[in-house]
Amino acid sequence: MEVIQDKTALREQLLEWRRHDEHVAIVPTMGNLHAGHVSLVELAREHAERVVVTVFVNPTQFAEGEDFEDYPRTLERDKRRLQRVNTDMIFVPTVETLYPFGLQNATSVTVPGLTENFCGSFRPGHFDGVTTVVARLFALVQPDVAVFGQKDYQQQLVIRRMVEDLGLPINIITAPTVREEDGLAMSSRNAYLSDEERAMAPKIHEVLESAGEALQSGKRNFEELENAASGQLSDTGFEVEYVAIRRALDLSVPNRDCDELVLLVAVRLGKARLIDNIVVTI
């Protein structure tokens, strides 16, 4: 397994793989890897002969006052975990590698529309940072395939839109959310939870499942279902940012005949901001 930091070594290795007609998949991460990340790598392996995992805590997707400085950096542990799943390369760029003209002078990539609601409204500028760094990683690695997790549902839609809009020849694959045994979606930020908060956290998935079952049973008063789910979470002790039922395709407001829905939730619990979702096919 190669661990590479600079562009020149990256390009040389990629060129060698291309000479052998090998396809390349990329799994962008911020490190502090868990079983959910491992599932992305395993899925990437099904679609390409070579898998590149990037580890970079991207400063441009953190707003002022967010947890950029505190975000866990566990590179040595991440290397061991990726070694066990036969990752071909870990690309660990520096800020200077990805932003050679500095953060203030960096060219940015913006996807309007999809980024304005939900996490976009509660984390202003977040998705501009995500699309900007992912575009840079795509430009450097030039992958055939890129794998993202469903837990960040809005994010993967934004990336899909960016790729389609820019005409990038990259197949975007969304991997199912990996959960703990009690239903909590795996996340690096789960480490921020106290023992008491960790015991509360599975309620998020429980509420989503309940709302999903209501939709499957024929209920179509979306606002009523959203309010009920939000109330259950608030009563449990969560600070609710949003609970929403939207069209799975584009996060637009669904009509009663829509048969592919996504239920989205974002809450705060102690120091942690937690997001989750489920897709419901009627």
Buried b (16+ CB within 10 A) or exposed e, 195-215: eebbebbbbbbebbeebbebb
- 37 an active-site residue? yes
The sheet that has 239-247: what strands, in order across it?
239-247, 260-269, 272-281
Pairing of the two strands 145-149 and 24-29: parallel
Active-site entry in 20, 23, 34, 37: 37
**Triad 149, 150, 155: Cα angle to 5°:** 80
- The residue ranges of DSSP E strands in the chain, in sequence order, are 2-4, 24-29, 50-55, 89-91, 145-149, 171-175, 239-247, 260-269, 272-281
Please tell me the distance from the alpha carbon of residue 64 to that of residue 179, in angstroms, as a whole number.
30
CA atoms within a 13 Å half-sphere pointing along the CA-CB vector of 3 = 11
Residue 33 CA to its chain's centroid (Å): 13
Please tell me the distance from the alpha carbon of residue 160 to that of residue 174, in angstroms, as a whole number.
10
Catalytic residue annotation: 37
